[in-house]
Structure 1
Amino acid sequence: MKAYLAGPDVFRPDVLRWAEDARALCAARGVEALIPLDGDATTPAGIYAQNIAMIRAADVVLANLNAFRGAEPDSGTSFEVGFALALGKPVIGYVDEACSHAARVARWQGAELTQNEGHVLDRDGLSVENFGLPLNLMLAVPAKIVVGGLDEALAAMPAGL
């Protein structure tokens, strides 16, 4: 069983330690971790090609979908999730807390959301998706979303995958 670990974790200052811990956590469950750091590419095109190849080789994608540099998940991670789904691969995303997307946007903006004609609006007057899902529906509907971290995502993998 191979799992591609998508997420902004590759930008952490302790990324090598994180990768070591993630590999050990996966191995304890009989899963081989495929981590974007595994390649040796250094150019944008090379890194992209390596990550795409790892997603293709994976049986499942485990994605850190916590907010990154804003109220939304990392854009690269979102792309990887979409690519994996297009390939028919199961995706399990994880978030630290069970709040709604609208609540996350409000907290990030430091403002109360307002109502207008049944729509929830942000501080700029733009509609905020308000289905009670933890993420935008394009992530929360096709992916299984769990609260917690990588360990909870591993535990949520379908049996016999």
Structure 2
Amino acid sequence: MVKVYLAGPEVFLSNARMILARKAELARAAGFTPLVPGDLAIPETNSKRERGVAISGVNEGMMRHADLIIANLTPFRGISADVGTVFELGFMCGLGRPVYAYTNSARGYFERALHDYYGGRVAKRPDGATAGPDGLSIEDFDMADNLMLDGGIETRGGTFVRRPVPEAERFTNLQAFEECLAIAARRHLA
């Protein structure tokens, strides 16, 4: 069986178990064996820090056993994807595994930085770059997120699905996930 690691910020939701169980069910229905953060027991620890390191180790172990990753890169706690999920995507890229991702935001990184972070208060610098009031240029490559995410997925033959959903469904709508899952299934289960 082809094992898929399901990465994303869903682990932080109040209904995380329900959403993650649904994603695992969909992955199984598509023919994959899902590997889901939170499914394995975490070793007992003596401190919060040790627990965090233990969780990281368990997740890395699952990724080492996965054949590919599908990552939820929907903006989380800011204008970009969850940093833990970004690490996991990079980890899988480093292992040379196929990478797939999706986002429930059709708005690209530049638009989110421009409006959500800088509130539209930007100007052109003498070098022609668009920059915020802090003088920092804003990455504008018509990509869903940072160029290293889009580029890392694309250069490895993966797919980055972008779909708009109502704000109330930002982390629960699974249409883009299902589309990403179907693409991965066609490529890896045929």
TM-score normalised over the length of structure 2: 0.79
Per-residue CA deviations over 1:110-149 (Å, capped at 9, x if unaligned) read 5114322311112432111111111111100111311243
More strand by share: 1
Task: Give 1:145's aligned residue.
Answer: 160
Identical-pair percentage: 35
2:120 corresponds to 1:93: no
- d(CA) in 2 for partners of 1:55, 1:107: 35
2:115 corresponds to 1:114: no
Aligned ranges for residues 118-137 of structure 1 at < 5 Å?
118-137=128-147
User: Helix, strand or coil: the match of 2:34?
Assistant: strand
- d(CA) in 2 for partners of 1:123, 1:81: 31
Quote how far apart the aligned CAs of 1:28 are: 1.1
Aligned ranges for residues 56-67 of structure 1 at < 5 Å?
56-67=64-75
Runs of 4+ in 1 over 6 A off after TM superposition: none
Is the radius of gyration larger for structure 1 or structure 2? 2
Letter in 2 for 1:128: I
Q: Which runs of 5+ in 2 are unaligned?
A: 44-50, 154-158, 164-175
Task: Give 2:21's aligned residue.
Answer: 20
- d(CA) in 2 for partners of 1:160, 1:66: 24
Give the length in aligned residue pairs: 161
Per-residue CA deviations over 1:39-78 (Å, capped at 9, x if unaligned) read 1116112111110011111111100101111111111111
Q: Which runs of 5+ in 1 are unaligned?
A: none
Is the 1:100–1:133 Cα contact (8 Å) retained in structure 2? Answer: yes
Is the 1:146–1:156 Cα contact (8 Å) retained in structure 2? Answer: no
Task: Give 2:85's aligned residue.
Answer: 77
TM-score normalised over the length of structure 1: 0.93
